[in-house]
Each structure stands twice: as structure tokens, then as C-alpha cells.
Amino acid sequence: MSLTTREWRFVQRPVGLPGPETYQLVERDLPPLQPGQCLVRNLVLSVDPYTRPRMDDVPSYAPPFELGEAMTGGAVGEVIETRSAEVPLGAWLVHQAGWREHAVVEAKAARVVDKGRYPSSYYLGVLGGPAFAAFVGLFRTAGFEPGDSVFVSGAAGAVGSMAGQFASLAGAKRVVGSAGSAEKTKYLVDELGYDAAFNYKDGPVLQQLQSAFPDGLDVFFDNVGSDHLAAAVEVLNEFGRVAVCGTISAYNASEHRAVPVNAFKIVTKRLRLQGFLAFDHEDLREDFDSRVGTWLENGQLTYRETISQGIEAVPAAFTGMLTGTNTGKAIIRLADDQV
């Protein structure tokens, strides 16, 4: 099938927050399929924090974007042509060729999901990468145990909103989240079931965290870094654990400023701080699908999306996600006829 489509390309490395000059929307002709490939019509796209560090020309766990390269990200697409025996026509695929309307996808690098059982966007959020990161970070990296007191930074975002709910459902003693507005802190308590929440803009994080955990905390799920991490080290109980999922506070900084962390207390409290990448833990996928799927079907999970419409909306949605204008998962919807 010969097809012309549109995709966003990376054309200028940003200094600070990415602007319109960072990308260019271009038309391109897709090549014929090779054996093992599928052509998908993307239904929904994801924008995620990890994309921002890849715009800088520095080493990381994933190579930086090259100038002129098509941007990538999570997406769910419907298969409209297939040369894979494992992927039938019409199937839904979760893949990484987002930021475009159509894509040629290697079947072995994609995942077939139940078509129509849930909205397609769920596979990018509550049943996708952000929730899986929350699951890995809480249950494996932090070694959560029932009765733990848990603090989640960036708690109203795609990952944080799941991490806090997972902790509550798994028997946490107390769950507290931080966010950047009164509206978001209200959402955490009233809708997500957090025991308490605070706006980190209202005052020093350390003081607010000490008030939230007068008896100390056991687990810190960190999406923010900086002053949140420094404060958590002060408030964590002995043998406390920190799962470092992200440091979004520094992603757009043109100059990185270190926040002092009391290393002596890390030693004397015998704390464990560990970063993680969810894709290193695919052995947990079956457990994740079972437990989170059950919670979702039983109505025990609250899930919210901030939805933008059309391929043209991708850069603004990405910027909004980086600056915290979204609540829950940031999604771009491309197709009006999707489930």
C-alpha cells in the first residue's frame, strides 16, 4: 500500500523549554512493508517526560535525537496492512512510532492488545507505560510492604497518580502526594484517595513534608528530584527506600543546580536510593496486567486524561505536560472513530 502521511521531526535542540522552532511537521511517503512489518494508522499518541532529555546531545540510557530525525513516543495504532503472521489485520498495536499519523512498525517490537475492551488510550496510561513504571518502582524498586507510609512527588501526573493509588490498594498506612496547584491537591485527596496532599509552591517542601508525616515515612516515590528528594532524606525513617523514577524539575533547566542532600543521614538511617527504568523489568508484566486489570475492572482505580486533538497539537501538549498543565495522562487523539 502506498501512503503519504505526516510526522513531527526534530530540527533544533532547545535551550530550556522546547518551543515551536524545535520541531517541523512534514509529509512523507511510507515505504512498502517488509516481512515481519505492519502498517498502522495511529489512533492515540502519548507525550512523556523522558522525551525531553533525548533532545539534548548528551549520553543517556537512550541515544539523543538526531537533527532531522522523526520524533518517537508511545502510540496505539490500528493495523491497516500486515506482513506478520502474528499480527492480524485490524489489530491494535502498542508501539513507539508516535508523533506521526501512520507508521511502519516491526511486529516483534510492538505489543498486541485487546481491541475494544478498553479505550485505546488506556494502553498508554492506566494499562501502559506510566502505570507499569509506577508498579515497578513501588513494588520492586522500593520494596513496598503493607503498612508502609508513602510519599509521592509529582503525584497528579501520569505515573504519580497511579503510584499513590497502588500503594493505597496494597495496604499502605498513609499516602501523601505533592503537586503544583490547589486544584491538583484537591484532586489527589477527593478523587484518588490520597490521605493528604500539599502544594509545593505554598512553602518549603521540607516543612510541609514534616507536617504530613509527623512519624516519618518509609517509601518515597520520586518523580521530581531537587528539593523533594532532599526533604525526603530528612523525613524518611530508618531503612527507608526511595524509588527514583524521574527528575522532571531539572529537564528544562538551562543550568543544572545541585540541591544538597544530607548524605550522612543516608548512611546513619541506612536508606536505599535507587533509580530504575521500567523496561528492565518486563518479567513483572504478567503480574502487572493481572493486578492492575483487576483493580480497574473492579472500579478501584481512578484514571484521568488530558486530551488534545489532532497531530498539530502534539508540541503544545508536550510543553503542557512538561510544565504541569495536565492532570493525569497527556494524550493526543488522532482518530474520531476510535473506541
177 is a domain residue:
yes
What pLDDT, on a 0 to 100 scale, did the predictor assign at position 207? 97
Cell numbers for 41: 494508522
Total number of domains constituting the chain: 2
Supply the DSSP symbol for 82.
Answer: E
What pLDDT, on a 0 to 100 scale, did the predictor assign at position 258? 62
Same-domain check for residues 77 and 90: yes
Name the domain boundary from 264, 279, 294.
279
**Domain with 18 in it:** 3-125+304-333
What pLDDT, on a 0 to 100 scale, did the predictor assign at position 156? 92
CATH of the domain at 204: 3.40.50.720
Same-domain check for residues 230 and 163: yes
Q: What is the mean pLDDT of each run of 10 residues along the chain (339 residues)?
A: 90 94 96 96 94 90 93 96 96 97 96 92 94 97 98 94 97 97 96 96 96 97 92 98 82 58 94 95 96 95 94 95 88 75
- Name the burial class of residue 122, with classes exposed (0-12), middle (13-18) and buried (19+) by CB atoms within 10 angstroms of its CB: buried
Query: How far is the C-alpha of 309 from the C-alpha of 119, rounded, in Å?
Result: 15
What pLDDT, on a 0 to 100 scale, did the predictor assign at position 328? 86
Amino acid occupying residue 151: F
The length of the chain in residues reads 339
Same-domain check for residues 39 and 170: no
Same-domain check for residues 197 and 268: yes
What pLDDT, on a 0 to 100 scale, did the predictor assign at position 260? 77
CATH of the domain at 327: 3.90.180.10
Residue 23 pairs in a beta bridge with 10
What pLDDT, on a 0 to 100 scale, did the predictor assign at position 58? 87
What pLDDT, on a 0 to 100 scale, did the predictor assign at position 256? 56
Radius of gyration of the chain (CA): 20
Same-domain check for residues 118 and 139: no
Same-domain check for residues 147 and 254: yes
Query: How far is the C-alpha of 139 from the C-alpha of 134, rounded, in Å?
Result: 8
Same-domain check for residues 190 and 64: no
338 is a domain residue:
no
Same-domain check for residues 84 and 177: no
What pLDDT, on a 0 to 100 scale, did the predictor assign at position 248? 66
Same-domain check for residues 272 and 320: no
Query: How far is the C-alpha of 176 from the C-alpha of 95, rounded, in Å?
Result: 33
Cell numbers for 318: 508536550
What pLDDT, on a 0 to 100 scale, did the predictor assign at position 266? 96
